[in-house]
Every structure is written in structure tokens, then in C-alpha cells.
């Protein structure tokens, strides 16, 4: 084949390259514009942001094709000067009109591409960062977390503030993980309940501490609780205590109190035997003065080898505050609260027990549960106290309604999400919490324990039917009067041996 005909064939080819470029550019702009009009017309809070990026890329490829065509054309026209395929010599000549047009059109197209890209990224960013995207798009999957979030102290804190936080690397990581999650939802391969702890949750240092700085001294925090006993009268038993949260400060309570664990003054590490970190068997503390103690399970101590190969976790905020936004309250706790607030009438005999037991039953769906709760409670009162089913007495109807509302707000059978699936690590009443480490099993080589003295963590000020009068020694507080039988508990007892948060305590 002669030199000339080869050149002609390629020149013909460059025409196609240019044409394809034009088509892509037009397609990209048309698509972007169409999307924009669609959005304005539909006023859709759309998740289509990513499409803008796609269109911008289409335009960019179009421009690229033009560039290639340009280079090829010049090589063909003047093969002498462009013997190397990569080197194209080009002298800018502003006197030439075609060169000015060229520059202007390159600038304009790049600007438009950049605008499309920017707008698209912004739209997708806003959409995927929005609370409703996280909470509502995968409605069925996220319903438990979305519902509990809305009644939490952090209901005005966006999901991403805790789950992603600041910084590009976490942003990218979360988006990659997001794609995996979308896939899992699409093919229905996700686990129920969603397993916790979340392994790629951003460390507390970089999320919680953006708003709650650890140096903040909190001191004592008053806590008032109201319990209802299991008798016919639904007797009230109240408790008023000060939690010694402490924190960092010089002088009074220096580096002490519960927030000593904020790891300002010391660091705590531990090994858990289970995924959910409920079964802790080994703990090491490094104190401010540099002294170190290691505690091992006295009944079944971990061997040197097990310790060396296990995952050792540094304790942080999340080891206590693992439910700051999604607290699945135990039936005992929510029923106590509902009776205190009058939503469940205290006048209904044995309503505490009936309500807790109705909530503790297992159901497959929420609809089934709502019917089941109503049936169970009605049939109990029909047998035992039929007067509550008569016209004009709405106590039972109100109680049923409130119990159903509690169920809908804290138990999610299709996702298998409830208080037992997601134990709260604050406290020790319905789940082991603090007693995972502060117990009598955990022992150092010299026979020391991690303390279990009640008053190191809180001071009881008043308890019983009335808690208005306080007359205590603030160094020790009162011994806890156990509502079960009025005995005092002032030594370690594993509360979860009997208390599981559900109806089990009445068996
Ligand atoms: C105040 C911080 C915070 C906010 C705000 C927050 N979360 Fe969470 N979320 C957490 C923590 C802490 C966990 C539990 C982590 C663990 O145990 O490993 C969690 C756990 C989860 C889980 C796993 C299941 C579970 O219940 O443990 C999902 C799903 C979830 N969050 C979704 C959301 C959604 C959706 C939003 C917004 C509607 C949101 N979160 C807002 C802190 C937060
Ligand atoms: C964007 C800011 C912000 C972030 C991030 C944040 N919080 Fe909060 N948090 C608040 C505000 C504001 C309040 C006070 C709410 C109120 O008083 O109703 C609060 C209240 C609290 C409380 C006291 C109320 C309660 O529910 O007991 C705790 C505990 C708490 N946050 C823990 C955490 C933890 C743990 C994290 C990290 C997982 C976190 N917060 C992340 C802003 C934030
Ligand atoms: C050893 C367990 C533990 C650790 C670790 C811990 N906290 Fe707390 N924190 C508590 C307890 C207990 C309370 C009081 C009960 C409550 O508010 O739920 C509390 C209360 C709080 C409060 C509410 C204070 C108020 O005035 O109501 C905030 C905010 C808080 N913690 C933030 C944090 C942050 C941020 C971290 C991590 C840097 C952290 N905590 C680490 C146990 C802990
Ligand atoms: C992972 C194990 C672990 C968990 C869980 C845990 N602690 Fe501790 N805690 C320790 C260790 C270890 C020490 C240090 C004991 C020592 O120095 O001898 C300690 C010390 C303390 C102190 C004493 C601080 C001081 O002034 O010296 C308080 C108060 C405390 N913990 C409260 C709590 C509360 C409240 C909870 C639950 C919300 C809790 N801890 C959960 C391991 C734990
Ligand atoms: C390691 C710290 C720690 C020790 C030791 C401790 N507690 Fe507590 N306790 C807590 C915390 C933290 C809470 C608050 C939980 C919350 O915010 O719901 C609590 C809450 C309680 C409550 C209220 C429970 C509820 O859910 O309404 C009672 C009752 C109680 N403690 C009794 C005791 C008794 C009795 C002892 C001693 C045998 C003891 N505690 C030892 C940390 C401790
Ligand atoms: C041997 C079993 C057992 C142990 C251990 C036990 N309790 Fe109880 N507790 C009961 C029973 C049973 C009731 C029910 C009394 C009623 O409702 O009439 C009860 C009732 C209560 C109540 C009031 C009911 C309510 O709504 O919660 C509180 C508060 C309480 N216990 C706290 C504790 C704490 C804190 C511990 C651990 C320090 C503890 N109990 C250990 C059996 C136990």
C-alpha cells in the first residue's frame, strides 16, 4: 500500500473519531440538562446526583476523542514534523482565528464539564449524607435504627456525624462499604439483626469527641428512676442517685469518676471472647502513675498463648456508650416509664406484669404482635377482672394502646432487633454492662479485683415511695434497698442472673 493511500484512510478515520466525540458531548449535555429539568419539574429530592457525574464523564470522553482526532490529523497532514506518535509540535498563533476559537471552545467545554462534575458530586454527596437517605432509603433494614434514633438525644445529629465523621479517607471507605451494603440489600443477603459492634465504625476519638471533648468535667449527674412492682396495686418504688461521672480537672475529683475511662489519666485494654464484647475475660489497666495491673478470669483464666493471639481492644467511649442513638429499651424499663408517665394506668391490677409479659413474647411480624398483645391482655382481664371490659372504662384500652406503642418503638421482629440483640453497656441492670469487668471473677495475680463497691460509681440519695427528703452522708450514700423483698444489696451481685429486661424476672 502506498504512503498516500494509507494517509487518506487514516484521515478518513479521524473524521469518525471527531463525529463520535461530538455525539458524546451532545449526549452528555443533553442528558445533564434533561436531568436538571426533570428535577426542577418533579421537585424530587433525588438520589440521581451520580448521573450528573456520569454525563460529565461522557462529555469528557467526547472531548478526549476530539483531542485524539486533532493529533492524528496533524500527524497525517505533516508526517515529517510528527514522526513520533507521542510528540506533536504545536505553535500557538493568536493571529490565527482557528486557534482562538480552539482555545475558547476548550475552555468553555472544560468549564461545563467541571460544572456538571461539581454539581453532580455535590448532589450525590448531599443525597447520600442526608439523614433521610441513611434512615429511609433502605426503609425495612434501617427501621429499627431510624425509629430509635428519632427519640434519642442525638435525633438532631446526622447519621454521618457518628458513622462517618470528617475526612476524605473515611468518606471514601464508607462509600465503598455502602456499595457492598446496597448489594446485600438487593440480593437479601444481610444478617438480621445487623451484627454489632460495627467493625468499621469510625473511632470515638474522631466522632463523639468532635462534640463532647473528654476534658469537660461533668462531676455528679443526678439520676431519678421510677419502678413499678409486680403486685396487684402496681406499687411504685423510686430511686434517686448521683452518678459519679467526674472527668478531668485539677483538684476535686481529679482524673477520677466514671469518665476516668475517657482515658485521660489511664488506659484500659481488654479481650472479649464473643463478637458482641459481652464476655470479657482479660483486662489490663495502665494507670497515670505508670503502674500496670492485669486481671484474668479466676474460673477459666486465659493462657499466655491465648492472650498473645487474641484481639486486644483499647477501651473507648463506645465500650460504655454503645447505644447513644439507637437504644432498644427493655420491656421492664419502658413499662416502668409508661406507668410513671400515666400512659399505662397504674389503677389496672397487675398491669406491670401483664404489660412486660405481653412485650416479652416472640412474634414474627409487628402486625402479629399488635394483635397478640391486645388478645393476651384482653383475655387476662376478661378472666380475672371483667369490669375493665365494660363500657365506659377505658383503662384497659389505653393500656393496650400504650403497650402496642412501646412494641413499635423498641422491638422490630422482622429485623430481629430488640433489647436482647443490642444490649446497652451503660449500667448493669438488664445487661452485664459495667459488670463485664467490675465483677468478682476478674482477678490479678496478687488476688486483687476490679472494684465492685457500689458507691465508687454512684451514691444513692433516697429510695422507696417518696424520694423528696434527702439526708445522707455524701461520702457513702445509702445502701440499695432491693424492691424484690426490701433487703439491702451492698455487695456484688450479678443482677442479670435474674434480671434480663423481660418477663423472666417474674418466673
Ligand atoms: C450519636 C451518634 C450516632 C448517630 C447520630 C447515629 N448512629 Fe447509628 N450507631 C451509633 C453507634 C455508637 C452504634 C453502635 C456501634 C456498635 O455497637 O458497634 C450505631 C449502630 C448503628 C447500626 C447497627 C445496628 C445497631 O443498632 O447497632 C445501624 C444500622 C445504624 N447505627 C444506623 C444509623 C442511622 C440510619 C442513623 C441516622 C438516622 C444513625 N445510625 C445515627 C451511633 C450513632
Ligand atoms: C454533632 C455533635 C454530637 C456528636 C458527634 C455526638 N454527640 Fe452526644 N450529644 C450532643 C448533644 C447536642 C447532646 C445534648 C442533647 C440533649 O441534651 O438533649 C448530646 C448528648 C449526649 C449524651 C447525654 C444524653 C444521653 O443520651 O445520655 C451522651 C451520653 C452522648 N451525647 C454521647 C455521645 C457519644 C458516645 C457520641 C459518639 C458516638 C456522641 N455523643 C456524638 C451532640 C453530639
Ligand atoms: C466507663 C464507661 C464510660 C466511658 C468509657 C465513657 N463514658 Fe460517658 N458516661 C458514662 C456514664 C455511666 C454516664 C452517665 C450515664 C448516662 O448519661 O447515660 C456518662 C455520661 C456521659 C455524658 C452525658 C453527661 C451529661 O451531662 O449528661 C456524655 C456527653 C458522655 N458521657 C460522653 C462520653 C464520651 C465522649 C466518651 C469517650 C471519650 C465517654 N463518655 C466515655 C460512662 C462512660
Ligand atoms: C473493659 C473493662 C471495664 C469495663 C467494661 C468498665 N470498667 Fe470501669 N474500670 C476498669 C478498670 C481496669 C479500672 C481500673 C481499676 C484500677 O485502677 O485498679 C476501672 C476503674 C473504674 C472507675 C474508677 C476510676 C477512678 O477514679 O479511679 C470507675 C468509677 C469505673 N471504672 C466505672 C465504670 C462504669 C460506670 C462502667 C460501666 C458503664 C465501667 N467502669 C466499665 C475496667 C472496666
Ligand atoms: C462500676 C460502676 C458501678 C458499680 C460498681 C455499681 N454500679 Fe450501679 N450503676 C452504675 C451505672 C453507670 C448506673 C446507671 C445506668 C444508667 O444510666 O441507666 C447504675 C445504675 C444502678 C441502678 C439503677 C438501675 C436502673 O436501671 O434503673 C441500681 C439500682 C444500681 N446501680 C445498684 C447498684 C448496686 C446495689 C451496686 C453494688 C452492689 C452497684 N449498683 C454497683 C454503675 C455501677
Ligand atoms: C436473685 C434474683 C435477683 C437478683 C440477683 C437481683 N434481683 Fe432485682 N429483682 C428481683 C425480682 C424477682 C424483682 C421483682 C420484684 C417485683 O417486681 O415485685 C426485682 C426487682 C428489682 C427492681 C424493681 C423492678 C424493676 O422494674 O426493675 C430493681 C430496680 C432491681 N430489682 C434492681 C436490682 C439490681 C440493681 C440488682 C443487682 C445489684 C438486682 N436487682 C439483683 C430479683 C433479683
Ligand nearest to the CA of 329: 5
- For residue 429, the CA-to-ligand 6 centroid distance in Å is 8
> According to the model, what pLDDT value does residue 48 have?
63
**pLDDT digit string, tens, across residues 176-220:** 777 677 777 777 777 888 888 777 677 777 788 888 877 777 788
Ligand 6: residue whose CA is nearest its atom 20? 484
In angstroms and rounded to an integer, the radius of gyration of the C-alpha atoms of the chain is: 33
User: Per-residue confidence at 362, pLDDT binned at 50, 70, 90?
Assistant: very high
> Ligand 3 mean position to 259 CA, how many Å?
6
Least confident of 11-20, 95-104, 415-424: 11-20
- Given a cut of 70, whether residue 13 has pLDDT beyond it is no
pTM attached to this predicted model: 0.85
Confidence of residue 3 (pLDDT cuts 50, 70, 90): very low
Q: Tell me the pLDDT band of 1, cut-offs 50, 70 and 90.
A: very low
* Ligand 6 centroid distance, CA of 252 (Å): 34
**Of the candidates 218, 151, 201, 210, the residue with the CA atom closest to the CA atom of residue 318:** 201
pLDDT of residue 79: 65
Three-state secondary-structure class, residue 136 = helix
Are residues 290 and 173 in contact, defined by beta-carbon separation less than 8 angstroms?
A: no
> How far is 243 from 227, CA to CA, in rounded Å?
18
What is the per-residue pLDDT across 274-291, written as a single tens digit (0 to 9) for each? 989 999 999 999 987 888
Reduce the DSSP state of residue 494 to 3 states and report it: coil
Give the tens place of pLDDT for each residue, 135-191: 666 667 888 999 999 999 999 888 888 887 666 666 667 667 776 777 777 777 778
Kindly list the domain boundaries of the chain, sorted by start residue: 3-129, 144-201, 219-324+424-506, 331-415
Q: Buried b / exposed e across 434-452, counting CB within 10 Å, b at 16+? A: bbbbbbebbbbeeeebbeb
Cell of 406: 412501646
Is the peptide bond preceding residue 125 cis, with omega within 30 degrees of 0?
A: no
Residue to mutate (ligand 6; options 330, 483, 500, 501; most atoms within 8 A of CB): 483
| Model pLDDT, residue 426 | 94
Going from the Cα of 213 to the center of ligand 2, the distance in angstroms, rounded, reads: 11
Render pLDDT for 455-491 as a digit per residue (tens, 0 to 9). 989 999 999 988 988 888 888 899 999 998 999 998 9
Higher pLDDT, 445 or 83: 445
- What confidence category does residue 51 fall into, taking pLDDT thresholds of 50, 70 and 90? confident
Predicted confidence band of residue 310 (pLDDT cuts 50, 70, 90):
very high
Evaluate if residue 398 carries a pLDDT over 80.
yes
Residues with CB under 6 A from ligand 4: 256-258, 260-261, 268, 270, 280, 283, 285, 287, 293, 315, 319-320, 426, 433-434, 436-438, 450, 456-457
393: enclosing H helix or E strand: none
> What's the pLDDT tens digit per position in 238-265?
999 999 887 766 555 555 678 866 566 6
The rounded Å distance from CA 323 to ligand 1 centre is 8
Ligand nearest to the CA of 208: 2
Question: Which DSSP letter does residue 458 get?
Answer: E
Among 285, 331, 427, residue to substitute to test ligand 5 (most atoms within 8 Å of Cβ): 427
Q: Is the CB of 505 under 6 A from ligand 6?
A: yes
- Residue 315's alpha-carbon distances to 280, 308, 309, 326, 458, in angstroms, are 12, 18, 18, 20, 21
- Ramachandran class of 120: left when φ > 0, alpha when ψ lies in -120 to 50, beta otherwise: alpha
Give yes or no for residue 4 having a pLDDT over 60: no
Amino acid at each position: 500500500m502506498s504512503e498516500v493511500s494509507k494517509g487518506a484512510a487514516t484521515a478518513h478515520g479521524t473524521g469518525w473519531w471527531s463525529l463520535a466525540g461530538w455525539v458524546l458531548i451532545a449526549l452528555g449535555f443533553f442528558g445533564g440538562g434533561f436531568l436538571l429539568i426533570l428535577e426542577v419539574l418533579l421537585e424530587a429530592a433525588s438520589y440521581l446526583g451520580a448521573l450528573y457525574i456520569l454525563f460529565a464523564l461522557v462529555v469528557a470522553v467526547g472531548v478526549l476523542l476530539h483531542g485524539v482526532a486533532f493529533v492524528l490529523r496533524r500527524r497525517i497532514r505533516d508526517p515529517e514534523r510528527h514522526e513520533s506518535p507521542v510528540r506533536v509540535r504545536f505553535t500557538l498563533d493568536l493571529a490565527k482565528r482557528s486557534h482562538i476559537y480552539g482555545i475558547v471552545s476548550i475552555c468553555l467545554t472544560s468549564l461545563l464539564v467541571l460544572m456538571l462534575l461539581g454539581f453532580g458530586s455535590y448532589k450525590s454527596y448531599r443525597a447520600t449524607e442526608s439523614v433521610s437517605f441513611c434512615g429511609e432509603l433502605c426503609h425495612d433494614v434501617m427501621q429499627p435504627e431510624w425509629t430509635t434514633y428519632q427519640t434519642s438525644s442525638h435525633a438532631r445529629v446526622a447519621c454521618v456525624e457518628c458513622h462517618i465523621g470528617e475526612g476524605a479517607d473515611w468518606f471514601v471507605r464508607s462509600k465503598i462499604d455502602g456499595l457492598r451494603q446496597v448489594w446485600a440489600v438487593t440480593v437479601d443477603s444481610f444478617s438480621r439483626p445487623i451484627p454489632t459492634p460495627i467493625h468499621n465504625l469510625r473511632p470515638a476519638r474522631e466522632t463523639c469527641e468532635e462534640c463532647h471533648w473528654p476534658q469537660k468535667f461533668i462531676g455528679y449527674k443526678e439520676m431519678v428512676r421510677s419502678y413499678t412492682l409486680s403486685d396487684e396495686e402496681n406499687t411504685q418504688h423510686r430511686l434517686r442517685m448521683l452518678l459519679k461521672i467526674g472527668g478531668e480537672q485539677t483538684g476535686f475529683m481529679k482524673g477520677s469518676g466514671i469518665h476516668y475511662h475517657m482515658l485521660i489519666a489511664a488506659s484500659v485494654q481488654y479481650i472479649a471472647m464473643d463478637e458482641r464484647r459481652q464476655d470479657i475475660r482479660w483486662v489490663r489497666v495502665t494507670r497515670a502513675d505508670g503502674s500496670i495491673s492485669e486481671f484474668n478470669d479466676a474460673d477459666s483464666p486465659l493462657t499466655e498463648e491465648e492472650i498473645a493471639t487474641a484481639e486486644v481492644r483499647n477501651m473507648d467511649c463506645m465500650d460504655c456508650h454503645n447505644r447513644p442513638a439507637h437504644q432498644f429499651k427493655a420491656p421492664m424499663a419502658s413499662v416502668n416509664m409508661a406507668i410513671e408517665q400515666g400512659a399505662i394506668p397504674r389503677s389496672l391490677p397487675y398491669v406491670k406484669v401483664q404489660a412486660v409479659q405481653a412485650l416479652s413474647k416472640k412474634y414474627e411480624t409487628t402486625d402479629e404482635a399488635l394483635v397478640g398483645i391486645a388478645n393476651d391482655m384482653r383475655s387476662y382481664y376478661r378472666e380475672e377482672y371483667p369490669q375493665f371490659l365494660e363500657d365506659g372504662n377505658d383503662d384497659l384500652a389505653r393500656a393496650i394502646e400504650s403497650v402496642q406503642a412501646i412494641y413499635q418503638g423498641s422491638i422490630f421482629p422482622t429485623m430481629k432487633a430488640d433489647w436482647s440483640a443490642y444490649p446497652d453497656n451503660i449500667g448493669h441492670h438488664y445487661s452485664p454492662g459495667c459488670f463485664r469487668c467490675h465483677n468478682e471473677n476478674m482477678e490479678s495475680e496478687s488476688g486483687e479485683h476490679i472494684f465492685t463497691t457500689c458507691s465508687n460509681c454512684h451514691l444513692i440519695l433516697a429510695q422507696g415511695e417518696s424520694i423528696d427528703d434527702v439526708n445522707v452522708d455524701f461520702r457513702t450514700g445509702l445502701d440499695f434497698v432491693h424492691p424484690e423483698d426490701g433487703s439491702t444489696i451492698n455487695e456484688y451481685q450479678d443482677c442479670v442472673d435474674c434480671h434480663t429486661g423481660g418477663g423472666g424476672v417474674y418466673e
